């Protein structure tokens, strides 16, 4: 049997594929591009088996054929466009087509191929305006009020997944993933909101000076290895007590990013950094400047999963990965 990861050459996809291969799974990746060379080299040493196929997730028939061919019984339909305001203003139809209609096509293929479990990729973006009105955001009581089209599509994916799962007899769990950073983050052209940790790492490798904003809000970042482990936890859950889970660090992380800048300065002697209140001077910008509430992880913690990589551990692991794989920042 095999696990399929669509969008498996993207950021979260690569971390997930690495974790699956690490435990010996046959992983079938479907993407629009090839596996990045640095990832392919690293994954070749892992015990699992990797199959990479170029394909369009909007083609339900072709997806079903692939699932049958490789005996896929579990699916991570993670192919998506992580759109920002510019792309949403120019091509809203494409964002909706890929993120929602492409997801439905994958669900139909999963039904036709007899897939047993689907982990649906929702997002913290479903909370939208609620981030500014709630200190803690939970799956039960916090209203989803998505603002950007990306967040709208993710909420639609979440609700559609649960509805089609009930109609078609597919075991579905939705994961609301918060802002992720860590190994394998790169600019694929499909992620408009690449995080500041990646920008700092690129500037450190290049030996250029970085300038962060003077004020950094308490943002709920999460390390990419924790996201991968959390997704595998959901994949393996025998009797889910709920069908929607926040998946994040659960801590107000934002200002601690200065620890990452300091570690990079120690590891890359040509790199310097500072903070400035002048937007024109800033070389590293945040996707969010307003104070936000923190996503609550009590629901998933009650099932036995908590993050292993809080700031100190995450930055140590990321630094070690970067030292051994600087080309990974570019793919």
Q: Please tell me whether residues 118 and 26 are part of one structural domain.
A: yes
- Residue 11 belongs to a domain with what CATH number? 3.40.50.720
Q: Please tell me whether residues 72 and 192 are part of one structural domain.
A: no
Residue 307 lies in a domain: no
Give the per-residue pLDDT at 331: 64
User: How many Å apart are CA 110 and CA 32, to the nearest integer?
Assistant: 19
Q: Please tell me whether residues 100 and 125 are part of one structural domain.
A: yes
Q: Please tell me whether residues 256 and 228 are part of one structural domain.
A: no
pLDDT at 298 over 90: yes
CA 104 to chain centre: 19
Q: Please tell me whether residues 48 and 167 are part of one structural domain.
A: yes
Percent of the chain past pLDDT 90, that is, above it, reads 89
Give the per-residue pLDDT at 325: 85
Average of per-residue pLDDT values in the chain = 95
pLDDT at 285 over 90: no
Chain segment 107-137, per-residue pLDDT in tens: 999 999 999 999 999 999 999 999 999 999 9
Q: Please tell me whether residues 57 and 128 are part of one structural domain.
A: yes
Residue 21 lies in a domain: yes
In this structure, are residues 185 and 194 in contact, taking their beta carbons and an 8 Å threshold?
A: yes
Give the per-residue pLDDT at 287: 78
Q: Please tell me whether residues 227 and 215 are part of one structural domain.
A: no
Burial (CB count within 10 angstroms: exposed 0-12, middle 13-18, buried 19+), residue 54:
exposed
pLDDT at 190 over 80: no
Query: Pairing state of beta strands 273-276 and 210-213?
Result: parallel
Give the per-residue pLDDT at 208: 94
In this structure, are residues 227 and 177 in contact, taking their beta carbons and an 8 Å threshold?
A: yes
> What average pLDDT does range 251-267 have in this prediction?
94
Residue 301 lies in a domain: no
- Residue 305 DSSP SS3: coil
Q: Please tell me whether residues 63 and 163 are part of one structural domain.
A: yes
Q: Please tell me whether residues 227 and 99 are part of one structural domain.
A: yes
Q: Please tell me whether residues 228 and 100 are part of one structural domain.
A: yes
Give the per-residue pLDDT at 192: 78
pLDDT at 279 over 80: yes
> What average pLDDT does range 94-106 have in this prediction?
97
> What average pLDDT does range 167-178 have in this prediction?
98
Q: Please tell me whether residues 98 and 232 are part of one structural domain.
A: yes
Q: Please tell me whether residues 149 and 238 are part of one structural domain.
A: yes
> What average pLDDT does range 73-90 have in this prediction?
95
Please tell me which residue, 220 or 28, carries the higher pLDDT value: 28
Among residues 74, 84, 60, which one has the least CA distance to residue 23?
74
User: How many Å apart are CA 283 and CA 121, to the nearest integer?
Assistant: 31
pLDDT at 50 over 90: yes
Mean pLDDT lowest for which of 114-123, 236-245, 267-276, 281-290?
Answer: 281-290
Residue 72, H or E segment:
strand 72-77
Tally of domains within the chain: 2
Among residues 253, 228, 231, 224, which one has the least CA distance to residue 312?
253
> What average pLDDT does range 229-248 have in this prediction?
97
* Residues 6 or more apart in contact with residue 315 via CB below 8 angstroms: 259, 260, 263
Domain that holds residue 202: 188-220+252-292+315-324
> What average pLDDT does range 211-239 have in this prediction?
95
pLDDT at 291 over 90: no
Q: What is the pTM of this model?
A: 0.96
């Amino acid at each position: 049997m095999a696990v399929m990861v669509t969008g498996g050459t993207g950021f979260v996809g690569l971390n997930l594929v690495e974790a699956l291969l690490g435990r010996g799974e046959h992983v079938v990746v479907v993407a629009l591009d090839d596996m990045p060379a640095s990832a392919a080299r690293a994954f070749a040493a892992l015990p699992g088996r990797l199959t990479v196929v170029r394909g369009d997730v909007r083609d339900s028939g072709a997806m079903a054929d692939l699932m049958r061919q490789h005996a896929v019984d579990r699916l991570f339909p993670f192919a998506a466009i992580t759109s920002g305001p510019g792309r949403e203003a120019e091509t809203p139809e494409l964002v909706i087509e890929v993120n929602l209609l492409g997801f439905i096509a994958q669900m139909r293929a999963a039904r036709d191929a007899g897939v047993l479990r689907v982990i649906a990729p929702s997002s913290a973006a479903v909370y939208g305006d609620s981030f500014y009105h709630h200190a803690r955001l939970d799956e039960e009581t916090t209203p989803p009020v998505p603002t950007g089209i990306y967040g709208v599509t993710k909420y639609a994916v979440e609700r559609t997944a649960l509805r089609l799962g009930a109609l078609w007899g597919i075991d579905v769990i939705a994961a609301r993933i918060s802002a992720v950073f860590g190994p394998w983050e790169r600019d694929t052209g499909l992620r408009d909101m690449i995080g500041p940790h990646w920008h700092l790492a690129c500037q450190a490798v290049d030996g250029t000076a970085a300038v962060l904003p003077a004020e950094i809000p308490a943002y709920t970042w999460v390390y990419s290895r924790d996201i991968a482990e959390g997704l595998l936890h959901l994949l393996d859950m025998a009797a889910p007590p709920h069908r929607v889970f926040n998946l994040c660090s659960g801590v107000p992380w934002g200002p601690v990013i200065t620890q990452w800048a300091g570690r990079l300065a120690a590891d890359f002697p040509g790199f310097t950094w500072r903070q400035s209140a002048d937007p024109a001077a800033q070389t590293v910008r945040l996707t969010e400047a307003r104070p936000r509430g923190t996503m609550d992880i009590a629901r998933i913690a009650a099932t036995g999963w908590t993050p292993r990589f809080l700031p100190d551990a995450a930055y140590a692991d990321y630094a070690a990965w970067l030292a051994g794989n600087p080309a990974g920042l570019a793919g």
